[in-house]
Structures are given as C-alpha cells and as structure tokens.
Amino acid sequence: MTLSISGKTAIVTGAANGIGLAIARHFQDKGANVMFVDMDEARLEAEVGAEARSEGSVRMFAGDLRQKLTAINLLSATIDAFDRVDVLVNASRQCRLSEGMCAEEDAVEDLLQQNMFTALRLSQMTAKRMIQRAEKLQETGGAIGSIINLSSTAATRTRSGMLGYSISCAAIDQMTRSLAVEYAGRGIRVNAVAFGSLMSASLQGAIKDNPDYLTAIEAGTPLGRVAAASELVETVQFLASDAAGFITGQILTVDGGRGLLDAVAVPAH
C-alpha cells in the first residue's frame, strides 16, 4: 500500500482559505487533480484563479453548496475537467457562538445545515457518481473512492456558547459512521478528522478578538502549542490514499493530546 495520491481527482470544499486551502494545496503538491471549492468567489479567484484557467491540475468552483443545483453543477464541472472523482474532502465549515437560552439565537439549525447537511448531501451525490463510473468501467468490487469529513473535538467536548457548533460536529461524526456502513460494500470509504488546538480561520478570528484565548488553548494542550493548518493535511492525505484501504467509519483525532485533559479547563477550538 502507498500514501501516494498522485493522479487522483479530489474535490475540496472550503478551499479559499484556512484548513481547506491547506488541504487543497497539499493535494496539488502531491500530484492530485484538485477542484478548489468555496462560497467566497473573490477569495477563491485571488488564490487559484490564474492556475484554474491554465488547463493544468487545478480548477475552481464558487457557489453555495447548500443548494442542490450548485452541488450538481460542481460534480459535473469536476467530471468535465478530470473525467472522474476519487476523493471528496468536506472541509467547509462554520463556527459561531450560540445563545444557549434563546432558541432564536442558538445557531443549531444554521450550523447543522452548513456543517452537516451540506456535507451529507454532497457526499451522497458524489458517492453516486463514483459508483456510476465504476459500473460503467466494470470496476466494481474494489476501492473506488474516499470521502473525508472535517470534524472537531467539540463533538465530544464543549463549553458555554458552543451549543450549535458542538451539535453539528457530533452530527458529522455520526454521519461519517453511518455513510461508512452504507457505502462499504460499494468500495467507498468514509472517515473524518476531528481536530483541536489547530490554527483554523475561526480560531484566528477568536484570537484577534481576545489574544488571551491563544494562551489558554496552549496551556490546555499537552504538546503546549497550537498547530498550523499544514500539520493536518498529511492525515487527510493518508485517509485518501491506498494506505488507508482497510480504514472506514473512523474519526481520527489530531489535537496535540488535548482530548486527554479536563474538558472544562480547555477552550473548545
């Protein structure tokens, strides 16, 4: 088995900045064809616009994946460009504070829609395309694809103000397990990476508002630091590669040991 993803075609959502961008760039560097996907068209254009028009291994797609037609168009654009989809990385996510005592401001419905339902629908639609292609080429019976969801340690560890986000992350984890069982017999593996103490775009925003937040996270992480987004990408590559060919339905944790400590003492990012 090999860690190589060279020649594979990957869709990476949330790829205009932060963790999604780091994953998409890493996949590109490792020889994969990559469709960079994000709602923020201007930022996506600034990051990869010129490359996407060069007819190389990079394409970009801007749109709101909460809309079914947008997801359909994304898959069509990917197959038109690269003839296949081997890997889907659901890296797009939103983190925002909740008002736990106020149903109108608890963010639960919005974050379930953004973080879980969008990933679920895109995963279902992508899996169908993977299976159709395998049947057309009579490649059934083997490994035909990998779906990787980004989750968070907030799925199992939470704090005040994180109601909606924590619920959405827990839903992503169970969605991952459920889809893994549904798709295992069709050659599609589904896994997730739950991260913590990692410099995501949302954590950058939180630190900007409250610099002491970073100190608190570092103090609550056994390895004593916050990881760069680039430190997550090789875990995602592993799950996308043939080296993980017998791994499905798993939630791999990348958190510097933070999950080993008292949840009350450690901020949830």
Q: What are 196-229's pLDDT values in tens digits?
A: 988 887 788 778 888 888 888 898 899 999 999 8
pLDDT for 201: 77
- Tell me the pLDDT band of 57, cut-offs 50, 70 and 90: very high
Which of 109-118, 209-218, 244-253 has the least mean pLDDT? Answer: 209-218
Q: What is the pLDDT of residue 125?
A: 98
Global pTM?
Answer: 0.93
Indicate whether 64 pLDDT > 90: yes
| Domain assignment present for 13 | yes
Q: What is the pLDDT of residue 268?
A: 58
Look up the CATH number of the domain holding residue 87: 3.40.50.720
153-194 pLDDT per residue, tens: 999 988 888 899 999 999 999 999 999 999 999 999 999 999
d(CA 269, CA 215): 12
Query: Would the pLDDT of 266 be above 60?
Result: no
The total number of structural domains in the chain stands at: 1
- Quote the mean pLDDT of the chain: 92
Kindly indicate the confidence band of residue 36, based on its pLDDT and cuts at 50, 70 and 90: very high
Sign of CA dihedral 209, 214, 215, 216: positive
Q: Is the pLDDT of residue 262 over 70?
A: no
Does 200 map to a domain? yes
List the alpha helices (DSSP H) in the chain. 18-29, 41-52, 68-82, 108-111, 118-136, 163-183, 201-209, 212-219, 233-240
What is the rounded CA–CA span in Å between residue 41 and residue 73?
Answer: 15
What percent of the chain shows pLDDT beyond 90?
Answer: 72
Per-residue pLDDT for 90 more than 80?
yes
pLDDT of residue 269: 63
Residue 3 lies in a domain: no
Residue 207: predicted pLDDT: 84
pLDDT band at 140 (very low <50, low <70, confident <90, very high): low
Strand, coil or helix: what is 191? strand
169 occurs within a structural domain: yes
Radius of gyration of the chain (CA): 18
The pLDDT, as a whole number, for residue 160 is 83
Q: How far apart are CA 82 and CA 34, in angstroms?
A: 9
Range of the domain at 185: 9-265
71 contacts 121 by C-beta, under 8 angstroms: yes
Domain presence at residue 43: yes
Segment 40-61 mean pLDDT? 95
State how far the alpha carbon of 1 is from the alpha carbons of 40, 56, 189, in Å.
37, 27, 15
User: Averaged over 131-148, what is the pLDDT?
Assistant: 85
pLDDT for residue 97: 78
Confidence (pLDDT) at 261: 81
